[in-house]
Amino acid sequence: MLEIQFPLGEGRRCLVLGGRGFIGSHLVAALLNRGFRVRCFERPHVKPIGESFLDNPNFELYEGDFTSEADVAEALSECDFCYHLVSTTLPKSSNSDPIFDVESNVVGTIRLLNHATKNHLQKIIFVSSGGTVYGPPVEVPISENHPTNPVCSYGITKLAIEKYFSLFHDLYNLDYAVLRLANPFGEGQRTLASQGAVAVFLGKVLRGEPIEIWGDGSVVRDYIHVSDVVDALLLSIAPSNGSHVFNIGSGCGHSLNEVLATIEEVARRRATMRYSEARAFDVPVNVLDISKAQYSLGWSPQISFFAGIDRFARWLGENNEFLKS
């Protein structure tokens, strides 16, 4: 197994925007375990996922609104690093209100970057979307140099935010990293959410509910376990070595039908499928080339697709309440 050396916090403070979400909660735990002081920024009344960190002296919960300049400025105060995991829209619904998508995500991030430069932030890490910024693939696997032609507002705004990160680096020497994630899954992911095929399908199989599939199930995606995503986020905190944008995925593709077959094998249950008309914004295949992250970050995924689903299913068996959320 690859030996990965992660930076130690030594009391430095990280702001995690969206720290009570699926990926954010795992990231907060990992940062605390490595000695960082963590300020978790989240909307008020968001139900926490997984373990509560309120008793940890290095943990601070800050409830605020990402679209509020005052809230963002206060949250960034005295922070050394920032992880930007906030998004107010979803790929499948973003086209219905692109103005809201731009105003809440792009404009909100520009305000964040303005205050990051004023606070002399050491580095900011942004979670982008490897599944939407590229659009229909010209070649597979998709490298970071692949043309970017997103077919939904969600992908367009992610790409615009990436460009503003680059602009602020050029103008103010603000160090940054952009991680274009594949499709993360794993423990803590909500099974009744409106996205995340692995979590939704696994939850339905375990509950004995039918599964609706858009198209014939041949759509191929790159799935990565959340622990591997967190590893990449931790490694990204180191000073950049000239590279800023990285694909983070497994480097392997699985069709929806293959996802279901693996879930059936793990759960030892048969799934009931209902196929319906394909959606226009679903590109037929998306598999990421991860060689740049392997070379520049020293990162590689450690959890196989089968092992990740097995871990997720076992976790749900021990946390039955998540089958209802």
Output the pLDDT for position 49: 62
Domains of the chain, earliest start first: 13-188+223-251+288-303 (3.40.50.720)
DSSP string for 67-118: T-HHHHHHHHTT-SEEEE---S--TTTGGG-HHHHIIIIIHHHHHHHHHHHH
**pLDDT tens sequence across 2-35:** 567 788 877 899 999 999 999 999 999 999 999 9
pTM (2 d.p.): 0.95
pLDDT mean over 268-281: 89
Q: Quick check: 48 pLDDT over 70?
A: no
**pLDDT tens sequence across 120-131:** 999 999 999 999
**pLDDT tens sequence across 168-195:** 999 999 999 999 999 999 999 999 988 8
Judging by beta carbons within 10 Å of its beta carbon (0-12, 13-18, 19+), is residue 106 exposed, middle or buried? middle
Output the pLDDT for position 1: 43
Phi then psi dihedrals of residue 23, to 5 deg: -70, -40
User: 158 pLDDT band (50/70/90 cuts)?
Assistant: very high
DSSP string for 234-258: HHTTSPPSS--EEEES-S--EEHHH
User: 281 pLDDT band (50/70/90 cuts)?
Assistant: confident
Q: Could you list the active site residues? A: 154
